[in-house]
Amino acid sequence: MAERMASQLGWKVLVLEQRDHIGGNCFDEYDEHGVLIHRYGPHLFHTDSKEVWDYLSQFTGWLPYEHRVLSRIDGQLVPIPFNLTSIERCFPADKASAMIEALRTRFGDGARVPILELRKEQDPLLGELADFIYQKAFVNYTSKQWGVPPEQISPEVTARVPVVVSRDDRYFTDPWQAVPARRLYRHV
């Protein structure tokens, strides 16, 4: 693909590998039973660029896929990113309704609010919600993923898993989301 990016798109390309194989995180291999293994996690593809989608579509077909995540919080399976359904599952109905109304009033329907931004809110109800989400769904995951407390991570990174003021339970919102039908790393 690097060659094609250079020759067809006119990009300057430098490919470096620190591992003992090509393909970076999209590397996959067949195990001894003939099962294709994605060594570094599933190859979930998402983009907001039609140009990127069309370009990669030269090399593979796509299997439709929208990634959804559930986390067990206090015995309940809760959508992540945290959304209105998550709030309703974690709080009594009257408190959940009040929190949802406060979110809608402050940020508007459909907003995607970074948790560290929500934690700065002065409204006590939003503060309670922010602290709950931060402690139950964010701090441990983020610390494990990055090896440092969330406050030491750039806001661009922590904003990747926002609080969603809607019932959209998809992990990504890009218009093009799928799993490659064929091995992409072969084209590196």
For CA atoms 80, 74, 131, 142, the dihedral sign is negative
Per DSSP, 81 falls in state: S
Residue 183: pLDDT band with limits 50, 70, 90: confident
Return the pLDDT at 138.
85
As beta bridge partners, residue 147 has none
Tokens of 117: 């931004």
With a cut of 80, say whether residue 6 has pLDDT above it. yes
Please tell me the pTM assigned to this model: 0.80
Mean pLDDT taken over the chain = 90
Per DSSP, 145 falls in state: H
Question: Domains of the chain, with CATH numbers?
Answer: 1-67+174-180 (3.40.50.720), 69-165 (no CATH)
Mean pLDDT of 6-15: 87
Return the pLDDT at 184.
66
Residue 91: pLDDT band with limits 50, 70, 90: very high
Closest CA to 136 of 68, 69, 75, 67: 75
Looking at per-residue confidence, does 145 or 137 come out higher? 137
With a cut of 90, say whether residue 182 has pLDDT above it. no
For residue 52, give every residue at least 6 positions away whose Cβ sits within 8 Å of its Cβ, in sequence order, or none.
176
Q: How far apart are CA 77 and CA 33, in angstroms?
A: 34
Mean pLDDT of 4-32: 86
Contact 45, 181 (CB under 8 A): no
Mean pLDDT of 22-36: 87
With a cut of 90, say whether residue 143 has pLDDT above it. no
Tokens of 20: 């003992």
